[in-house]
A and B are shown apart, each in its own frame.
Chain A
Amino acid sequence: MKNPAKIGRWSPYVVGVGIGALSWITFGLMDKALGVSTSFVGTAGAIESLVAADHVQDNAYFAKYLVGSPLINWQFALVIALAIGAFVAGWLGRSRQSRAVPEVWEARFGSSKAKRFAFAFLGGAILLFGARMAGGCTSGHGISGGLQLAVSSWVFLIAMFASGVAAAMLIYRTGKGASHV
C-alpha cells in the first residue's frame, strides 16, 4: 500500500473523522476546543499596540484578550503549527499550490494579481469582522461548537452557509458556461 502521507488528496470522510477524533484529544487531554479566529484579535492588538499601546489597552475588546493573558498561548501555537502541518502535508503529497490567482476567480475576473490580492484583503477583513461578531469561525463555531450542539454555533453555521451560497452565486455566476471549472 502506498504511504498515505504521499497521497495528494484524502477522502473528505477520512479527513472529517480525523478532525472529529482530534476534537476528542483537544477536549479530553487539553481541555480546549479547536478555534482560530481569536488569535487574529490578539495579533491585531499586538501590532496596533506598537504604535498606540494606550489605545489598545483602553479598548475593552482588545483588553479582554490581551491584558493579563499571554499573547502566545495554546491557540496561537495551534495557528502557527497549522501552517507547518499544511506545508508538510502538501510537500509530502507533492500537492502544494503555486497559483497567485485561483482558476475559479480567474474565470470570472481575469488574471490580474493586483485585483485578486485587493479583493482577498477585503474578503479577509469582512471575514474576520463577521467571525468576531458571531464569536467564532468555521473551526470554533462550525466544528467545535457544532459538535457540542451549541445554539450559537448552529445559528452561525446556517447563516454562514446560506450567505456563502448567495454571495458566491452573486459574485461568480456569469450565466455563461464557467461551470466546468
Chain B
Amino acid sequence: MFDTPIFDTPMQLFMGAIAGFIFGFLLQKGGVTRFNVIVNQFLLRDFTVAKVMGTAIVVGGVGIYAMLQLGWIDALHVKAAHLLGNAAGGVIFGFGMALLGYCPGTAIGAAADGAKDAWFGILGGLFGAAIYAEASPWINANIMTIGALGKETISTETGLSPWWFMVGLAILAAGGFWALERWEHGRAARQSLAI
C-alpha cells in the first residue's frame, strides 16, 4: 500500500476471487457459517466442524504431498513454528471463537449469509488486529523467541516420510468418523424413543 499501487495484478485478484467464491460457497453449504454449529461443536453436541476440517486436511494433504512428490509443485507454504506463540495464540483464539461463534473466515461468510452479529465480530476483529500491531514489539521480543523452530513439518522434524503421517491421519479420520456416525445414529434413535 505505502510506496506501491493499492491493487495487485488483475490475475492475482481473479485467482483469489475464484478461490474465495468456492470457499465461501462451501462454508455456507457446510453449515459452518452458523453460530449454533460452531458453538455446539465446542460443546461437543454437533461434530460438523470436526468432520469438515478433518476431511479437508486428509483430502488436501494427500493431494498436496502427491503433487510435491510428482514435482507438480516446488514447495510447501509452511508457517514458521513459534511454539509459545502458536500455543498461546491458539488458546486466545479458541476463547474468542467460543464467544463470537465464528472464526475469521466464517464470520465474513456468516455476515454475508445474514447473521447480523457477525458484522460486529468483523469490526472487533479489525480492532483486535490493530491492538496486536501495537503489542507486537513486546510479543516479538518475549513470546516469538520461545520455541522458534522455523518452517518445520512433523515429517521434517521427525525425519520420517510424510506418508506415514498422512496414512495415519486418513485411518484415524476414517475410523473416527465411522465411530462418530454410529454414535450419532444411536443417540438420535435414543432421543426419538424418549420423545
Contact = CB atoms under 8 A, between A and B. Distances in A.
Interface of A: 7, 9-10, 12-13, 15-34, 36-37, 40-49, 53, 57, 59-63, 66-90, 93, 95-105, 113, 116-169, 171-173, 179, 181
Contacts of A113: 116
A127 B100 contact: yes
A180 to B, nearest CB: 9
Contacts of A168: 39, 42-43, 98
Nearest to A135: B79
Given A16-B59, A123-B97, A123-B121, A24 B67 contact: yes
Contact of A169 (B18, B43, B56, B100): B43
Contact of A83 (B55, B57, B77, B108): B108
Give the 5 A-B residue pairs with the shortest CB-CB distance, closest first: A16-B55, A134-B89, A124-B124, A85-B24, A20-B59
Interface of B: 1-8, 12-36, 39-45, 48, 51-61, 63-64, 67, 72-73, 76-83, 85-101, 103-118, 120-137, 139-140, 143, 149, 151-155, 157, 162, 165-166, 177
A101 B53 CA distance: 26
Given A24-B60, A159-B87, 4 more contacts: A46-B1, A120-B101, A121-B127, A165-B42
- Give the interface SS of chain A, mostly helix, strand, loop or mixed: helix
B132 A122 contact: no
Contact of A37 (B48, B95, B104, B133): B104
Contacts of A33: 77
Contact of A44 (B23, B45, B79, B130): B130
B100 A70 contact: no
A125 B86 contact: no
B20 A79 contact: yes
A124 B6 contact: no
Contacts of B41: 164
Contacts of A12: 30-31, 48, 51-52, 55
B92 A23 contact: no
Contact of B89 (A7, A62, A130): A130
Contact of B125 (A22, A124, A135, A143): A124
Nearest to A48: B130
13 contacts: A10-B29, A16-B51, A18-B26, A44-B129, A76-B16, A82-B21, A83-B112, A86-B33, A89-B26, A123-B100, A152-B152, A164-B97, A171-B99
A121 B124 contact: yes
A125 B51 contact: no
B73 A45 contact: no
Nearest to B112: A83
A19 B19 contact: no
Contacts of B12: 73-74, 77
A120 B17 CA distance: 27
Contact of B1 (A23, A42, A136, A143): A42
B70 to A, nearest CB: 10
B60 A19 contact: yes
A59 B7 CA distance: 22
A167 B95 contact: yes
A2 B165 CA distance: 38
B78 A145 contact: yes
A89 B24 CA distance: 8
